[in-house]
Amino acid sequence: MNQEERRKLKCAIVDEIAAQKHLIESLAESVKPVAPDNAIGRLTRMEALGSQGISENTLGAARAKLAKLETALEKVDRPGFGICVRCENPIPKGRIMAMPENVLCVPCAEKR
């Protein structure tokens, strides 16, 4: 990966980090507890609790992705960046550009 490709990748990672932070902020509002004394009805309350659970899972996934993206941003200038941690073959540039947080090539990711 040349310097220009690394620069573009850094910009893409920074943009994705900003998007994940925005998503986390919006999800943080939707995971607030549903008050039991809320007069919204039994079924509506159950739906709100179900929606809250989905939002909590999405929030967890967004936080995990944010951490991986921040790690990728730290490592993008290192010589080993873009090398599969399992088989040590280069990860295709298209995969890195699409998902810079990945540390596995496609064949290794499929085996997992």
Residue 19 lies in domain: 3-111
Angular region, 38: left φ>0, alpha ψ -120 to 50, beta rest: beta
Q: What is the mean pLDDT of residues 40-53?
A: 71
pTM: 0.75
In the chain, pLDDT over 70 holds for what percent of residues?
89
Specify the number of domains making up the chain: 1
Q: Answer with the residue of higher pLDDT: 1 or 104.
A: 104
- CATH of residue 62: 1.20.120.910
Q: How far is the C-alpha of 51 from the C-alpha of 102, rounded, in Å?
A: 29
Q: What is the mean pLDDT of residues 51-72?
A: 90
Q: How far is the C-alpha of 52 from the C-alpha of 56, rounded, in Å?
A: 6
